[in-house]
Amino acid sequence: MTRNAKATLTVCAVLLLTLTAAPLALADAVWGTGLVFEATEPGFEGYYEYCYHIYWDTTEYGGHGLSHSTIYLALAGCACACDEGYFGHRVPAGLAFGEENCEVDMYSTFDCPGDPHFPLDGPTMKFEPDETNCELGVTGWMHVCYFSLFPPTEPGIFEDHLAIKFGLNVETGDLDGVIPYCDCSGNPTELGTWGTIKALYR
């Protein structure tokens, strides 16, 4: 076999391996980080304030604009998770920044049964944009917060604890940081009056 023939076979083999290799996995459509602080807002003394940076990019998933984002709280077996006063809301919960300089307020909702669009059962915190003036689009990020009596987990990576809905699609991604864990020893009535605690359900 000539040198040229061997070279041709080598090139063909490389091309064949390239064409038959498994396709690269799509990047997550949503990902985020989270921190926790002692709450200082009046009416939430004794609470924790959980704050998150959540990023989305649906370009590789059809390019539909963001409908809402959800955090899975992993409290499905917690006896007091749905009791009034264990979660509270900033109004608005934060801001989101999308395409073409779109900036909108975000509003939070605690869903005790869970977000019906989410693949896991159990309480969730949902963040929805007020898109009166503009639409966020297919890429962007948000900074959002909520309050809880539940103390934080140890920092870690929580797989598929974030989700976004865009068009008719739902995708999940990882959350790097902290989420609340179940501890029913706190009593909302001992930490603030019902007149100052924001409504659990909006």
Four-residue CA torsion sign, 65, 67, 72, 76: negative
- For residue 185, the model assigns a pLDDT of 84
- For residue 190, the model assigns a pLDDT of 57
- For residue 13, the model assigns a pLDDT of 36
Element (H, E) at 70: strand 66-72
Task: Please give the class, per CATH, of domain 27-191.
Answer: mainly beta
Tokens of 83: 């009791």
Give the CA dihedral 27, 65, 110, 108, nearest 10 degrees. Answer: 110
Q: From first to last of the 202 residues of the chain, give the pLDDT tens digit.
A: 544 444 433 333 333 333 333 333 457 899 999 999 999 999 999 999 999 999 999 998 887 889 999 999 989 899 999 999 999 999 999 999 999 999 999 999 999 988 887 777 899 999 999 999 999 999 999 999 999 999 999 999 999 999 999 988 899 999 999 999 999 987 675 554 333 333 333 3
- For residue 189, the model assigns a pLDDT of 58
Asked if 120 contacts 82 with a C-beta cutoff of 8 angstroms, the reply is no
Count Cα atoms within 13 angstroms, Cβ side, for 179: 22
Distance of alpha carbon 15 from alpha carbon 22, whole angstroms? 14
